């Protein structure tokens, strides 16, 4: 069930890359959207890429809070409450937010 059509929006507007080393594509990105898991969070912190966190599991909420408090990401809140509009606003802000880009 996808009452807000987030899944269908993402399927139509998102490039999913599998089995590709992060360093080969992260430098081409304006920002990253991720769940806030520790592995992805660490990779993005190392890359210095602005990120948006959409947590949905216990540890994801923890890391989302930590990295937002550090000023290196924005926590968009529970993925289950995400809307295309909120994601769009977050991506625009992350791509142009000087504080996030400088971290």
64 belongs to a structural domain: yes
Domain that residue 92 falls in: 25-102
44 belongs to a structural domain: yes
> What pTM value is reported for the model?
0.73
Q: Which CATH number characterizes residue 91's domain?
A: 3.40.50.2000
- Read off the pLDDT of residues 34-90 as tens digits, 9 standing for 90 and up: 999 998 888 888 888 888 999 998 899 999 999 899 888 999 999 989 888 999 888
2 belongs to a structural domain: no
Max distance between CA atoms of the chain, in angstroms, equals 39
- Give the chain's domain count: 1
82 belongs to a structural domain: yes
């Amino acid at each position: 069930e996808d009452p807000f059509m987030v899944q269908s929006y993402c399927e139509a507007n998102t490039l999913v890359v599998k089995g590709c080393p992060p360093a080969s594509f992260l430098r081409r990105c304006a920002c990253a959207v991720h769940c806030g898991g520790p592995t992805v969070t660490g990779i993005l912190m190392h890359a210095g890429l602005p990120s948006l966190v959409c947590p949905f599991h216990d540890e994801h909420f923890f890391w989302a809070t930590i990295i937002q408090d550090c000023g290196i990401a924005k926590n968009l809140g529970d993925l289950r409450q995400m809307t295309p509009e909120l994601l769009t606003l977050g991506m625009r802000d992350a791509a142009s937010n000087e504080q996030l880009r400088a971290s």
